[in-house]
Amino acid sequence: MSKFNKNSNGYIFGYAIMLTLVCGTLLAFVSEGLKDLQKAAMLLEKQQFILKAGLGADGLEGLSGPEVTELYNKIVKVEIINSSGEKVDADEAKLSVYKEYKKEDASTRALPVYVVGKKDNPSEVESYVLPTYGNGLWDNVWAYVAIDGDLETIEGIVFDHKAETPGLGARITDPEVQSRFAGKKLSYEVNGINAPDFQKGEGNDFTSSTNKVDGLSGATITAMGVNDMLDAYLTLYKPYLMSKKKK
């Protein structure tokens, strides 16, 4: 009986092809198995962001993942609107704020609104959480902005980013930085909404100002990107917010 020549090119190539097929199959199997877990983790993170913005970080203190989801399902209602404030038919579970942001015509974007009810009375509105998307220094930045029931006061905000500089622009994810927006006011203007802005420099006291926020030292471009993002996106929500003001 002939034996394989393990030193031959044919054997080496065949072995390499077989190994590639086996490893590729295993990787595909593992990836498929993890896909549901990844989706679940991303959904939980979004729920946490929305609730942190709408209720404050203390509102989630001590809650496990399943408890966060239970609270979210109990007190959060979702509406999808367009830039005219009209409801549109869209599946929120499949809606990507990033993909909507990439549409050149901003007026065609589908805009999710997360209506957060009070923990002890879900039918009473605690805040309206509005997702926003924009550009920082290196890549995209985004936020969940919670507007109080008065439709003017920022109740909370949660920022995140893709690639901002650690210790500089990435500080937008710091709870202390995010807390600087709490209590600030939206300014309704003829051409849109002027949101509170990060100011140049850091360490200044703007507690008496309703539209100025202490800035980020060494991260001016990131701060400006956040300012532009909030103004541009909240302006899209203006008709919706104005319709709520009239009620």
pLDDT score of 1 more than 50 = no
The boundaries of the domain holding residue 179 are: 41-245
pLDDT of residue 15: 67
Q: How far is CA 143 from each of CA 46, 140, 177, 234, rounded to the nearest angstrom?
A: 11, 10, 13, 11
DSSP string, 124-154: EEEEEEEEEEEE-SSSEEEEEEEEETTSSBE
What amino acid is encoded at 40 in this protein? A
With respect to residue 23, please indicate whether it lies within any of the assigned structural domains: no
With respect to residue 93, please indicate whether it lies within any of the assigned structural domains: yes
With respect to residue 2, please indicate whether it lies within any of the assigned structural domains: no
On average, the pLDDT of the chain sits at 89
Scan for tokens 């920082």, then name that residue: 136
With respect to residue 80, please indicate whether it lies within any of the assigned structural domains: yes
Domain total of the chain: 1
pTM to 2 decimals?
A: 0.84
- Helices 238-245 and 220-236, axial angle in degrees (round to 10): 60
pLDDT of residue 9: 62
pLDDT of residue 42: 87
> According to the per-residue pLDDT averaged within each range, which of 9-13, 120-124, 211-215 is highest?
211-215
With respect to residue 33, please indicate whether it lies within any of the assigned structural domains: no
With respect to residue 13, please indicate whether it lies within any of the assigned structural domains: no
pLDDT digits (tens, 9 = 90+) for 93-108: 899 999 999 998 999 9
pLDDT digits (tens, 9 = 90+) for 176-218: 999 999 999 999 999 999 999 999 999 999 999 999 999 999 9
Asked if residues 180 and 186 have their Cβ atoms less than 8 Å apart, the reply is no
- Specify the DSSP class assigned to residue 241: H
DSSP string, 54-85: HH-GGGGTT--HHHHHHHHHHHEEEEEE-TTS
pLDDT digits (tens, 9 = 90+) for 23-82: 767 676 656 665 667 788 888 999 999 999 999 878 888 889 899 999 999 999 999 999
pLDDT of residue 57: 78
- Helices 65-75 and 9-55, axial angle in degrees (round to 10): 50
pLDDT of residue 62: 85
With respect to residue 7, please indicate whether it lies within any of the assigned structural domains: no
pLDDT of residue 28: 65
Closest by CA position to 85, among listed 59, 107, 58: 107
